[in-house]
Amino acid sequence: MRYHSNSSSFAHFIITIMIVLLLLAQQAPPAQASSGAQDSADTIFKLVISQAKDDVCVGETVNVTITWGPNTSYTGGGGSLPLAPLTGPSRIALKASLGYFYPQDVPPMGAISGTSTVTYTADKVGTEKLFAVAWTGGSSDGIATDTFKVVACEYMYTLDAQLDMTVTSEDITYSSRYTVKSRGTLTPTDPDNPRHLEARDKTVMMTATIVSWSSSKCSLFTWEPATGMGWVDARADPGAMDIGMVLQLAPPKDLAWDMDYSFSCDGDGVTIAGVYPVSSGDPWVSATFPSSIGKQNVVLDMFEVPYNKLKGAEGLTVSYTATLTLEKKESK
């Protein structure tokens, strides 16, 4: 019985100790955030880093905003509130694991509070966590983070070119318009190289129409708009120093004009009909996109050559534009 009594007393003692420990744990102050956390009472500055997108494409460049200011919760480790800082952080260092910043660090700032913007370019697929660390002298201070996904994206390219020509003579004035258009989806083809994109056998469409016709002696009897169709391959790759994207369209395959129109002037009939192949150099069209997306003016040989030959000719006005657009294809 004595053994049982001692065991019972010892058990009660252990239970009592456990209850006391639980009560002490409930009354204990919460654990302090790790050194450098932006909401810590031990940091002089509060720091925020952010960018606007949930997902960033590999190769895409986005703006990243860093904001700093005095930490109103800072205690300085003493019982009374310390004086506010007289100057801003000596520097703010940036770190990324799947991409890179430009500039690498936030430029030196003198203001106690403020905002600075840098660019971030994603280089690899995965979950990115950006870090910003404020430094005061030789010691690290506030830390801020921003997390988002970097994904391999599809892009859309668009080629849009138009040449306008007006012929004016004593007896006749007419205007014609020629267009070349192509559009396609560029997709990653190599999981190990998600910034290399390709589009195969995309349609190229050409049209030629008479926009206006005016003559006291000549009548336009028949007119079938000239058309043309072919196929083109496109590719996009990282630009110099892995900045931006370079989009190239290869020479079109089986591209030709199909024309058929006729008119009569003073009883003399004229008919123009036939199929006229189109040739070009390699690449056919190319453009560099520093931000990986956007619109760029380009040179299209099939318009550039006649434009240079015809511009300035008497009784003839000619102009042309050609653009390449590269844009991120939105997920459905």
Task: Give how far the C-alpha of residue 35 lies from the chain's centroid of Cα atoms, to the nearest Å.
Answer: 35
- Phi/psi-derived region of residue 319, left when phi > 0, alpha when psi is between -120 and 50, beta in every other case: beta
User: Domain ends where: 92, 121, 151?
Assistant: 151
User: Per the domain annotation, does 18 fall within a domain?
Assistant: no
Yes or no: say if 234 and 156 are a contact pair by the CB < 8 Å rule: no
Q: What is the pLDDT of residue 45?
A: 82
Same domain for 130 and 179?
no
Same domain for 142 and 165?
no
Yes or no: say if 24 and 17 are a contact pair by the CB < 8 Å rule: no
Same domain for 85 and 102?
yes
Q: Which residue has the higher pLDDT, 66 or 30?
A: 66
User: Per the domain annotation, does 24 fall within a domain?
Assistant: no
Peptide bond before residue 103 is cis, with ω within 30 degrees of 0: yes
**Going by C-beta distance under 8 Å and a sequence separation of 6 or more, which residues neighbour residue 78?**
none
User: Per the domain annotation, does 131 fall within a domain?
Assistant: yes
Same domain for 165 and 311?
yes
Number of compact structural domains in the chain: 2
Same domain for 178 and 294?
yes
User: Domain ends where: 151, 175, 193?
Assistant: 151
Task: Name the pLDDT band for 21 (thresholds 50, 70, 90).
Answer: very low
- Tens of pLDDT, residues 274-286: 777 787 788 999 9
Same domain for 99 and 246?
no
Least Cα distance to 143 among 92, 90, 77, 84 occurs for: 92
- Measured CA to CA, the distance from residue 321 to residue 202 in angstroms comes to 21
Q: Which residue has the higher pLDDT, 9 or 112?
A: 112
How many CB atoms within 10 Å of residue 173? 14
The type of residue at 91 is R
User: Per the domain annotation, does 303 fall within a domain?
Assistant: yes
Same domain for 261 and 123?
no
| Strand 139-151, strand 55-57: pairing | parallel
User: Per the domain annotation, does 75 fall within a domain?
Assistant: yes
Query: Is residue 32 pLDDT above 70, yes or no?
Result: no
User: Domain ends where: 151, 185, 201?
Assistant: 151
- Measured CA to CA, the distance from residue 320 to residue 316 in angstroms comes to 14
Same domain for 136 and 280?
no
8-state DSSP, 92: E
Tell me what the mean pLDDT of segment 290-310 comes to: 92
Tell me what the mean pLDDT of segment 322-326 comes to: 98
Same domain for 179 and 227?
yes
Sheet containing 45-50: give its strands across: 45-50, 61-70, 114-122, 99-102
Q: 150 has which bridge partners?
A: 56, 126
Same domain for 136 and 222?
no
8-state DSSP, 54: S
Sheet containing 55-57: give its strands across: 55-57, 139-151, 126-136, 91-95, 105-106
User: Per the domain annotation, does 68 fall within a domain?
Assistant: yes
Q: What is the pLDDT of residue 33?
A: 27
Q: What is the pLDDT of residue 273?
A: 79
Query: Is residue 297 pLDDT above 60, yes or no?
Result: yes
- Tens of pLDDT, residues 262-278: 777 777 777 877 777 78
Task: Name the pLDDT band for 95 (thresholds 50, 70, 90).
Answer: very high
| Strand 268-277, strand 253-265: pairing | antiparallel
Q: Which residue has the higher pLDDT, 136 or 168?
A: 168
Same domain for 178 and 272?
yes
User: Per the domain annotation, does 257 fall within a domain?
Assistant: yes
CATH number at residue 136: 2.60.120.570
Q: Coil, helix or strand for 7?
A: helix
Tell me what the mean pLDDT of segment 281-296 comes to: 92
Tell me what the mean pLDDT of segment 181-206 comes to: 94
Query: Is residue 109 pLDDT above 70, yes or no?
Result: no
Q: Which residue has the higher pLDDT, 24 or 46?
A: 46
Question: Residue for token digits 């007896």?
Answer: 171
Which domain range does residue 293 map to? 155-328
User: Per the domain annotation, does 37 fall within a domain?
Assistant: no
Same domain for 183 and 324?
yes
